[in-house]
Structure 1
């Protein structure tokens, strides 16, 4: 099952993973995650949002016919906004986004080095570039109309 070439590839993936973990982007992500985990205000906002989300889920069983539908919907959105706008959360989400972009780029490079026909998730922001409408990164030469 395991031949020498496969073992080489696995060793190289370990090296690549180590390089990513040593990158500034990953280190910034870890720091932002630690800050978020230690931010008591952010954690309190998150717990408040989760309680509101539970009410939301209960109301959604009945949909707009529930008597508290509008109030619960608005409160849940408000709690989510309060959490999302907290400075520590904003910084964490920015770092998370940058890390995701790095990983998407690495995956794209790996896939294209194997074959132009390897499928890569086209739902990532990396592929939302003008010129191509099919999500292949303009590899097909189609034009978005």
Structure 2
């Protein structure tokens, strides 16, 4: 690929956009939540317990309902996962992670639509689902179908 001035300018603008995202409150909140999660011993203990239970779960899955410990292992796995997922530090981290994903989805959607209205954006993203009104216009008509 030939690198002319236009390509270099686009790369410079991309770097500037990445820097803006890294300096955003959303990204800084994400980093802080990740740091707190990494330092949270209780969350780490919940995670280790869940992973240990998950090994038993995978063993039981090989035989399905016919395994003698099926019900017990399934229940224990769900309880361990719930204990981890409802821990305050984990909840905060997952919310910050979700917020960052929404920001990135919004940036991607704006970039794609600025290139062409025909550029496809992954329809599975939460931003697309929020922006879509259901009539097929992608929310452009402002209807509430």
Q: TM-score, normalised by structure 1?
A: 0.90
Structure 2 residue 22 is matched with structure 1 residue 21: yes
The within-5 A match list for 1:40-51 is 40-51=41-52
Report how far residue 3 of structure 1 moved: 1.5
For 2:91, the equivalent position in structure 1 comes to 90
Give the number of equivalent residue pairs: 143
Structure 2 residue 47 is matched with structure 1 residue 33: no
**1:77-135 deviation digits (Å, cap 9, x = unpaired):** 1000000110000110110010000000000000010111111111111122362266x
* Structure 1 segments (4+ residues) deviating >3 Å: 138-141
Q: Where in structure 2 are there 5+ consecutive unaligned residues?
A: none
- Supply the distance in 2 between the matched residues of 1:19 and 1:31 (Cα, whole angstroms): 17
Q: TM-score, normalised by structure 2?
A: 0.90
CA-atom RMSD, angstroms? 2.0
For 1:132, the equivalent position in structure 2 comes to 134
Report how far residue 138 of structure 1 moved: 3.6
Task: Say if 1:133 and 1:78 are closer, same or farther in 2 by CA, change over 3 A.
Answer: farther
Q: Where in structure 1 are there 5+ consecutive unaligned residues?
A: none
